[in-house]
Amino acid sequence: MVADKWETTFKQWLGEHQGLIFKVIRAYAATTEDQDDLFQEILLQLWCSIPGFRGKAAVSTWVYRVALNTALVWKRGQKKRRQRRTPLIDISQVPDISEEHTTSAEDRQIVDRLYVAIRELPKVDASLVLMYLDGLSYSEMADILGISQSNVGVKLNRARKRLAELLKGYVDEP
């Protein structure tokens, strides 16, 4: 019975928060193969985290924290790990919601370039930018990363400046 409840919770979380999971994946993994590997790892960690969820944080905060922490650990061990696992879910079967929001080829190129730039940021800064783009408050960001709100502000400001440098000449303001 517990496994059925976990499966229902897992499917609900995945359905409701797949967009933020894909943003994390795209920010930390460049190739399709790496994105698939990270997706599988996040799914596994999300499944394993269900018993530890006590409802003290919003589900979205919990999912974000699991996805970001998994991505950070995965990124550190990426070079050591090249064995293939049987995927839990084929990532190609899950719709890429980012495509729904970018209608033109030019818009998709800008989004792609933004993700390239985000991957060049330090890991915590990349995480903050993703959360900022998702509209999370400084308080929510601080809870997810385990840092103070003032530290969120400082790091986010530095990340914005670095992103502006990385995108200069590619995306010009009118």
The band of 76, judged by pLDDT with boundaries at 50, 70 and 90, is: confident
Which pLDDT belongs to residue 80? Answer: 56
In the prediction, which pLDDT does 98 show? 47
Q: Check pLDDT > 90 for residue 122.
A: no
> φ and ψ at 79, to 5 degrees?
-70, -30
How far is the C-alpha of 40 from the C-alpha of 31, rounded, in Å? 14
Domain boundary among 50, 75, 95: 95
Q: What is the token pair recorded at 142?
A: 């601080």
Residues 6 and 91 in one domain: yes
Where among 61, 78, 95 does a domain terminate?
A: 95
pLDDT in tens, 28-41: 888 888 889 999 99
Domain count of the fold of the chain? 2
| Distance (Å, whole) CA 134 – CA 154 | 18
Measured distance CA(31)–CA(23) in Å, rounded: 14
Statement: residue 107 has pLDDT above 80: no
Are residues 10 and 86 both part of a single domain?
A: yes
Is the confidence at residue 79, as pLDDT, over 50? Answer: yes
Domain CATH code at residue 131: 1.10.10.10
Q: Which of 74, 95, 116 is the last residue of a domain?
A: 95
Across the range 48-53, mean pLDDT stands at: 89
Q: Is the per-residue pLDDT at 85 higher than 50?
A: no
pLDDT at 150 over 70: yes
Q: For all residues of the chain together, what is the average pLDDT?
A: 80
Mutual orientation of helices 2-28 and 59-77 as an angle, nearest 10°? 60
Q: What number is the average pLDDT over the span 144-148?
A: 86
Same domain, 74 and 130: no
Q: Say yes or no: 115 and 132 in one domain.
A: yes
What is the pLDDT averaged over residues 8-23? Answer: 90
Domain carrying residue 64: 1-95
For residue 61, is pLDDT > 70?
yes
pLDDT at residue 21, as a whole number: 92
